[in-house]
Structure 1
Amino acid sequence: MKNNSYVIVSPCRNEAEFMRHTLDSVIAQSVRPTLWVIVDDGSTDDTPRILSEYANRHSFIKIVRRDDRGHRSVGPGVIEAFYEGYRAINADKFDFICKLDLDLELPPNYFKTLIQRMAENPRLGTCSGKPYYVDSGSGKLVSEKCGDENAIGASKFYRVECFKQIGGFVREVMWDGIDGHRCRILGWIACSWDEPELRFIHLRPMGSSQKNIVSGRMRHGYGQYYMGTDFVYMTASALYRMTRPPLIIGGLAMWLGYIQSYLCRKERMKDKEFRIFLRKYQWSCLLNGKKRATVTLNQDGAARWDPSAPPKFSEI
């Protein structure tokens, strides 16, 4: 180990409204990052000035600037910006790497707790806490109800060996789901915990950063289609999401995004082994429940796990 050092890479674009919350909550961490690379993806608001202000005050913050492409691009655009920051570091100098959004508010022991969990389980490849948002009517915190079988896309905390072995993130919409399945293919464990010290506030509703939340949910439906999700599983997932805000319309938009992609014969992942693995897991989730299916798969994965093996995938 390298003294439990970690580096954060944060792609951002026009985050002036939220970013001070994230910047201040990372600075206030009980275990700070060794390095924090923030990639300004062509911001046109006050983001560059705020970043300069914080970088001038804190030496562990490094800013990488990209040209303005003229619009926000989630999925491929976010990952391209992430890799701009990744190329500015030597990942081998760190134990952990985190892809972190700049619209979050983290509890003070967030990273300390994640590092402790990693130390307790060497097969744990990626993990995170759970996102909550503030209800505009009641002012109460509401869970975004993300599954336990993966780290949350807004906060992807990775063991560097695992991140390199799975090939990093694909440059597609479903990058934050594909990575967790690739972990399981190789015997690594991906998970998230809904515990007080790991609950973070998502200052912007999930899936609403480009256009609106309905467009975001339709984009999610395309992402599920792209990675090879089975129609029956997609329907069950959409029905569940209909019970979460925005009621009915959110889950319906996901399902329509999937169906539209199918009818238009859009491109799907070419990795046949991945699609077979994914659908087998999804059917196990439908028949046995996701928690039991994931536990069984993680138990079986112990025989496949080899942290010293060369990368199986090649996205990086």
Structure 2
Amino acid sequence: NEARFIGMTIESVLTQTVKPLKWVIVDDGSTDETPSIIQQYVARCPWIHYVRREKVAGQHYFASNVFGIQEGYRGLGNLPYDFLAILDADISLPPNYYKQILSRLCADEKLGVASGVYVDRLPDGNLRKVLNDRRSTPKSITVFRRSCYEDIGGFVPMKYGGEDTVACFIARMKGWKTWSYPDVEVIHNKPIGTGHASNLLKIRYRQGRGEWFLGTHPAFFLLKSLRRCVKEPPFLFGGMARMMGYFFGILSREPRQISEDLVRFIRREQCHRILGFNSIPKEIAVKADHSHSLLPSQEGQLHSKIQ
């Protein structure tokens, strides 16, 4: 149900300086005007394809979201491409978004997952910065190198969210680099707290549950939550709700959806971050200065390679 925003999202893709060869838009059971809006663009743009996926009773929101991505991936068929972009239906991209991200992927063959960062558009029209980790990419605006996406097996459907974080952890465990570039900003038109879950405290509690299911190290989680108490609304109480969610995750004894090998990798990396005062190891660091532009030959190639 993204009738309010889907038109803005599609228009922002139509104005990209590097456009997809094929775009599969998966409608995950909308009951508003979303399908008719998409169909109007499908009629105008032969490279846009519409797929309807009905919701499955009892399927959690985040798992349903991942299954929708898998449906879109299957819709690409045998089309040859090197890069795969994921995009949520409430995002507005700047015209050079894909050109910026793809140029950085082309500059580093070990960079497997890349994105910009997003700012929230508040109801009053103002924009608000969102906390982000340079090592992780928001699923809503992520671009994969195809070989990396296939290497990690795509997204894992997580009950409490965090599938984008898991994908980045798996990629790094397999030797890929993952990076979000703070100089490339997009607008998130439906901030957390205004969508499918409107109670921010419940959202922070769920995020704490998700952190436990991700295998987050207790010491790292405590430091992260304390920082969020003063950096993220609702201040103080949001961090406390996160801690409560993590604690109840421990008590629930509910099995995790990721392997113990991955949990050990995640905790080892987080311990290194604590001991290294959050410094970036050289082996996963990505050059911050990407002022270079694409060569004409590269730009032509990218027009035929992004999906």
Both proteins in one fold, TM over 0.5: yes
Does the 8 Å contact 2:13/2:93 carry over to 1? yes
Does the 8 Å contact 2:115/2:181 carry over to 1? yes
For residues 78 and 66 of structure 2, what CA distance do their matches in structure 1 show?
Answer: 16
Does the 8 Å contact 1:134/1:141 carry over to 2? yes
Q: What is the correspondence of 1:174-189 to structure 2 with a 5 Å cutoff?
A: 174-189=162-177
Q: RMSD of the alignment, in Å? A: 1.9
Name the residue aligned to 1:278. 266
1:129 aligns with 2:119: no
Task: Give CA deviations for 1:266-298 in whole Å, capped at 9, x if unaligned.
Answer: 2224512111111111111112122x2x33452
SS in 1 for 2:275: helix
Deviation at 1:71, TM superposition (A): 8.6
For residues 8 and 85 of structure 2, what CA distance do their matches in structure 1 show?
Answer: 17
Name the residue aligned to 1:164. 150
SS in 1 for 2:134: coil
Task: Give CA deviations for 1:4-42 in whole Å, capped at 9, x if unaligned.
Answer: xxxxxxxxxx01111111111011101111111011111
**Alignment TM-score, normalising by the size of structure 2:** 0.86
SS in 2 for 1:225: helix
2:186 to 180, 186, 200: 200
For residues 123 and 257 of structure 1, what CA distance do their matches in structure 2 show?
Answer: 35
Does the 8 Å contact 2:22/2:76 carry over to 1? no
For residues 46 and 92 of structure 1, what CA distance do their matches in structure 2 show?
Answer: 30
For residues 207 and 96 of structure 1, what CA distance do their matches in structure 2 show?
Answer: 32
In structure 1, give the amino acid aligned to 2:110.
R
In structure 1, give the amino acid aligned to 2:95.
P
SS in 2 for 1:228: coil
Q: Tell me the number of residue pairs that the alignment of Structure 1 and Structure 2 aligns.
A: 281
Aligned residues: percent identity?
Answer: 32
Relative to structure 1, the CA distance from residue 257 to residue 49 in structure 2 (aligned partners, 3 Å threshold; closer, same or farther) is same
Does the 8 Å contact 1:208/1:216 carry over to 2? no
**Alignment TM-score, normalising by the size of structure 1:** 0.84
SS in 2 for 1:145: coil
Does the 8 Å contact 2:122/2:191 carry over to 1? no
Name the residue aligned to 1:99. 86
Name the residue aligned to 1:257. 245
1:233 to 220, 224, 237: 220
For residues 71 and 245 of structure 1, what CA distance do their matches in structure 2 show?
Answer: 30
Relative to structure 1, the CA distance from residue 155 to residue 284 in structure 2 (aligned partners, 3 Å threshold; closer, same or farther) is same
Does the 8 Å contact 2:121/2:191 carry over to 1? no
Q: What is the correspondence of 1:108-123 to structure 2 with a 5 Å cutoff?
A: 108-123=95-110
Deviation at 1:145, TM superposition (A): 1.4
Name the residue aligned to 2:21. 34
In structure 2, give the amino acid aligned to 1:264.
S
1:211 aligns with 2:197: yes
SS in 2 for 1:255: helix
Structure 1: gaps (5+ residues): 1-13, 300-316
Runs of 4+ in 1 over 6 A off after TM superposition: none
Tell me: higher relative CO, structure 1 or 2? Use CA pairs within 8 A at least 6 residues apart: 2
Name the residue aligned to 1:23. 10
SS in 1 for 2:11: helix
SS in 1 for 2:20: coil
Deviation at 1:136, TM superposition (A): 4.3
SS in 1 for 2:142: strand
In structure 2, give the amino acid aligned to 1:239.
L
Name the residue aligned to 1:306. none
Task: Give CA deviations for 1:154-207 in whole Å, capped at 9, x if unaligned.
Answer: 111000000000111101122111111111111110000111xx2001111136
Relative to structure 1, the CA distance from residue 166 to residue 281 in structure 2 (aligned partners, 3 Å threshold; closer, same or farther) is same
